[in-house]
Amino acid sequence: MQAENDKKYLLRAVDAFPHRMIVLSRDYRVLAACSHVNSTPDAAMLGRFCHEVFFRRSDPCADCAVKTVWETGRPAWSHRRDEISGAEKVSCLYAYPLLSGGEVEAVVSMELDLPPVTRVEEQLQRSNALLRNLIISALDGVIAADKRGKVIIFNDAAAEIFGYTVNEALEHLDVRNIYPDGMERAVMRQLRSDVHGGRGKLRSYQVEILHRDGRRIPINLNAAIVYEGSTEVATIGFFHDMRDTLRMKKELEKTQLQLLQAEKMASLGKLAAGVAHQLNNPLGGVVLFTKLVLEDYDLPPGVREDLGRVLNDAERCRETVKELLEFTRQTRHLMRPHDVNQAISRTLFLLMSQSLFQDITIETEFDPQLPTVHSDIQQMNHLFMNIILNAAQALSGRGRLTIRTAYVPESGCARIEIADTGPGIPPDVLPHIFEPFFTTKDEGQGTGLGLSLVYGIVENHGGRIKAFSELGQGARFVIELPLTPRADGDRAREQET
């Protein structure tokens, strides 16, 4: 039994309680009220139905907590919108039994504005939906997996990178299978170490993943282990497809290399052109005066013969100088119809005098009907020069070099074939020969730029180049150049053994 004073305070506390508190009978009639409803005084509620007073209903509310208390004998709660005001306010109804001899005699019901559970749920749902949308529309592939490797998040970008549909990934994909052999363990090891962004984190880790069709795709991976407390529950990874970036980087490198090579060739060309000019004038003098002496003097036959030889050699020198001037002509990127046979002959003419070519038999089978090719002559010179030099180097100065040209009416192309009887290109080397800086030559002997430049030139002219080789059987390069540049630039590089 409470002391009188206690009771007084408790009654005052109930009075001061700033929320509706009512005591209800089994048939939902108000037995006592402290309602704070201004429109209806508490005394006027007594004996009336709760649902009628507060909700203007003729029947009890379906989800009423009071009803649950009558049914179970235990406290209960429910929540609902304020139907009288129609406002969006959500209230919570707490109810508990007043017992008498173990039986429920009446039920106390308190209506509180807090906590609006549905609102919290709604907000939770909304922020979940926002998060979902963020993940789905992220530009990088997002994949989360539980501890067993089962994929639990797989967004559209991941579907694009990996080649699985979102549903396939969620139903069947094991996250361990998205990496090539052994790579998954390496990723997890890095993730657990401190090296890339701290324990449980992986920042900007370069890795390859396996596309569904078996292709390997370069990825920049950011990943994290998801913890609950100190327990690992999942991993999440953000997969950035690096193919475009790498392609652009390669393009840039190629352009830089071409510039570098072009500069190198240009300065060599300038030097050669300077020397050629210097030689041209005195050679002109030698030819002229030899001719004058031969014409003006009555020379003994032996002397005349010797002077004839001088004249011949001087004219050959002039011819060489003329070719050299032509070869180094500073006409950059000038596309004009050019005679490919002549361009090859000019390159051969200049190279043949080199000691490297002395014991090399050169066979040419030029198609006399070969139409002209719309091309940049300087680039053509570099193209043939590089391939022929490679062949001579492979022959180590001994063997046969065959050059054939032909018109291919089906493709409308000029076909140039340059073959040597050297040692050939090993199968593991063949796929790399067009890569910049790829060389098998000793340091100082080759930069590995020659064929990458050749490839760039053929590409610029909308043509294709293929390398064929069988070990011990020499190497053969086949170039096809369209007579006029193609609009779509049909470009290809292929190697075959």
Ligand X SMILES: Nc1ncnc2c1ncn2[C@@H]1O[C@H](COP(=O)(O)OP(=O)(O)OP(=O)(O)O)[C@@H](O)[C@H]1O
* Residues within the interface to Mg ion (CB under 5 A): 390, 450
Q: Which two tokens stand for residue 343?
A: 């361009």
CA of residue 79 relative to chain centroid, distance: 52
For residues 142 and 418, which CB has a smaller minimum distance to ligand X in the complex?
418
Partner whose binding site includes residue 391, from ligand X, Mg ion, none (CB under 5 to 8 Å by kind) = ligand X
Q: Which two tokens stand for residue 77?
A: 């709660």
Helices (H), 354-464: 377-395, 450-460
Provide the minimum distance between the beta carbon of 263 and Mg ion in the complex, in angstroms, as a whole number: 17
Burial 214-244 (b: 16+ CB within 10 A, else e): eeebebbbbbbbeeeeeeeebbbbbbbbbee
For residues 341 and 447, which CB has a smaller minimum distance to ligand X in the complex?
447
Q: Are 15 and 101 in contact (CB under 8 A)?
A: no
3-state helix, strand, coil in the chain (%, to 5): 40, 30, 30
Partner whose binding site includes residue 441, from Mg ion, ligand X, none (CB under 5 to 8 Å by kind) = ligand X
Does 475 bind ligand X (CB under 6 A)? Our answer is: yes
DSSP one-letter string for 171-220: HH-BGGGGSSTTHHHHHHHHHHSSTTTSTTEEEEEEEEEE-TTS-EEEEE
Does 446 bind ligand X (CB under 6 A)? Our answer is: yes
Does 451 bind ligand X (CB under 6 A)? Our answer is: yes
DSSP letter (8 states) at residue 357: G
Q: Are 476 and 418 in contact (CB under 8 A)?
A: yes
Partner whose binding site includes residue 447, from ligand X, Mg ion, none (CB under 5 to 8 Å by kind) = ligand X
CA of residue 204 relative to chain centroid, distance: 14
Provide the minimum distance between the beta carbon of 350 and ligand X in the complex, in angstroms, as a whole number: 17
For residues 317 and 429, which CB has a smaller minimum distance to ligand X in the complex?
429
For residues 224 and 449, which CB has a smaller minimum distance to ligand X in the complex?
449
- β partners of residue 239: 141, 221
Provide the minimum distance between the beta carbon of 427 and ligand X in the complex, in angstroms, as a whole number: 12
Does 420 bind ligand X (CB under 6 A)? Our answer is: yes
Distance CA 466, CA 476 (A): 8
Q: Which residues neighbour 121 within 8 Å (Cβ) at sequence distance 6 or greater?
A: none
Partner whose binding site includes residue 449, from Mg ion, ligand X, none (CB under 5 to 8 Å by kind) = ligand X
The CA distances from residue 136 to 157, 237, 295, in Å, are: 8, 14, 93
Partner whose binding site includes residue 383, from ligand X, Mg ion, none (CB under 5 to 8 Å by kind) = none
* Neighbouring C-beta atoms of residue 375, cutoff 10 Å: 27
Taking CB under 6 A as the binding criterion, the range among 153-161, 185-193, 210-218, 434-442 that sits at the site for ligand X is 434-442
Does 440 bind ligand X (CB under 6 A)? Our answer is: yes
> Whose structure tokens read 């920042």?
203
398-408 and 413-420 strand pairing: antiparallel
For residues 226 and 389, which CB has a smaller minimum distance to ligand X in the complex?
389
Does 450 bind ligand X (CB under 6 A)? Our answer is: yes
> Site for ligand X (CB under 6 A): which residue of 143, 413, 425, 465?
425
Partner whose binding site includes residue 373, from ligand X, Mg ion, none (CB under 5 to 8 Å by kind) = none
Q: How many residues bind ligand X (CB under 6 A)?
A: 21
Provide the minimum distance between the beta carbon of 386 and Mg ion in the complex, in angstroms, as a whole number: 5
Q: Which residues neighbour 468 within 8 Å (Cβ) at sequence distance 6 or greater?
A: 475, 476, 477, 478, 495, 496, 497
Does 439 bind ligand X (CB under 6 A)? Our answer is: yes
Does 422 bind ligand X (CB under 6 A)? Our answer is: yes
Helices (H), 332-407: 340-352, 377-395
> Site for ligand X (CB under 6 A): which residue of 112, 217, 429, 471?
429
Taking CB under 6 A as the binding criterion, the range among 58-66, 252-260, 287-295, 439-447 that sits at the site for ligand X is 439-447
**Selection from 92, 108, 35, 26 nearest residue 60 by Cα:** 26
Provide the minimum distance between the beta carbon of 254 and ligand X in the complex, in angstroms, as a whole number: 13
Secondary structure E strands in 82-162? 90-100, 103-112, 141-146, 151-154
For residues 76 and 430, which CB has a smaller minimum distance to ligand X in the complex?
430
Sketch the per residue contact string, 390 through 419, with ligand X: x for CB under 6 A, - otherwise: xx--x-------------------------
Partner whose binding site includes residue 237, from Mg ion, ligand X, none (CB under 5 to 8 Å by kind) = none
Does 438 bind ligand X (CB under 6 A)? Our answer is: yes
Sketch the per residue contact string, 336 through 375, with ligand X: x for CB under 6 A, - otherwise: ----------------------------------------
Provide the minimum distance between the beta carbon of 401 and ligand X in the complex, in angstroms, as a whole number: 9
Provide the minimum distance between the beta carbon of 396 and ligand X in the complex, in angstroms, as a whole number: 10
Half-sphere exposure of 29 (CA within 13 A, CB side): 9
> Which residues would be at the binding site for ligand X (CB under 6 A)?
386, 390-391, 394, 420, 422, 425, 429, 433, 438-441, 446-452, 475
